[in-house]
């Protein structure tokens, strides 16, 4: 199984969870903008630090399982986990029961 196939499953599950958790919120637009900003920041850190770790030889990827596109030295497949961090975790945070009743 390629990394893309694994990541596709992760992204589909994240998209479904996000859609379910945010479907009744009125401030979805603001939340999506904040998720996009979060994605940008985490993606930047992923590109920089994954590239440094790969350059240092801390880990490597089997070329047979990669698409071939890289951002820095980091394969594009690494960025599926950025989507997970930027979308699913804030969705779960916003869906917690205390927020619906106005408690933080």
Q: In this structure, is residue 102 part of a structural domain? A: no
The contacts of residue 95 (CB under 8 Å, 6+ apart) are: 21, 22
- Residue 69 — very low, low, confident or very high, per pLDDT cuts 50/70/90? confident
Reduced to 3 states (helix: H, G, I; strand: E, B; else coil), residue 68 is coil
Cβ atoms of 94 and 46 within 8 Å: the answer is no
Q: In this structure, is residue 70 part of a structural domain? A: yes
Q: Exposure of 75 by Cβ count < 10 A (0-12 exposed, 13-18 middle, 19+ buried)?
A: buried
- Give the span between the Cα atoms of 102 and 53, in whole angstroms: 42
**Quick one: tokens of 29?**
């637009």
Phi, psi of 96 (to 5 degrees): -65, 145
Q: In this structure, is residue 65 part of a structural domain? A: yes
- Give the span between the Cα atoms of 47 and 91, in whole angstroms: 24
Q: In this structure, is residue 101 part of a structural domain? A: no
Domain that holds residue 83: 3-96
Q: In this structure, is residue 24 part of a structural domain? A: yes
Alpha-carbon dihedral sign for residues 45, 42, 50, 53: positive
Considering the entire predicted model, what is its pTM? 0.71
How many structural domains is the chain composed of?
Answer: 1
Q: Is 90 exceeded by the pLDDT of residue 52?
A: yes
**How does pLDDT run across 9-30, given as a tens digit for each residue?**
888 888 887 887 777 777 778 7
Q: In this structure, is residue 17 part of a structural domain? A: yes
Q: In this structure, is residue 38 part of a structural domain? A: yes
Q: Residue 75: beta bridge partners?
A: 70
């Amino acid at each position: 199984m390629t990394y893309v196939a694994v990541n596709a499953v992760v992204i589909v599950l994240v998209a479904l969870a996000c859609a379910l958790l945010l479907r009744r919120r009125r401030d979805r637009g603001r939340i999506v903008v904040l998720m996009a900003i979060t994605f940008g920041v985490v993606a930047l850190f992923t590109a920089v630090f994954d590239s440094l770790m790969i350059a240092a030889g801390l880990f490597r990827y089997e070329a047979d399982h990669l698409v071939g596109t890289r951002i820095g030295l980091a394969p594009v497949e690494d960025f599926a986990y950025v989507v997970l961090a930027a979308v699913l975790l804030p969705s779960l945070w916003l869906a917690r029961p205390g927020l619906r009743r106005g408690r933080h």
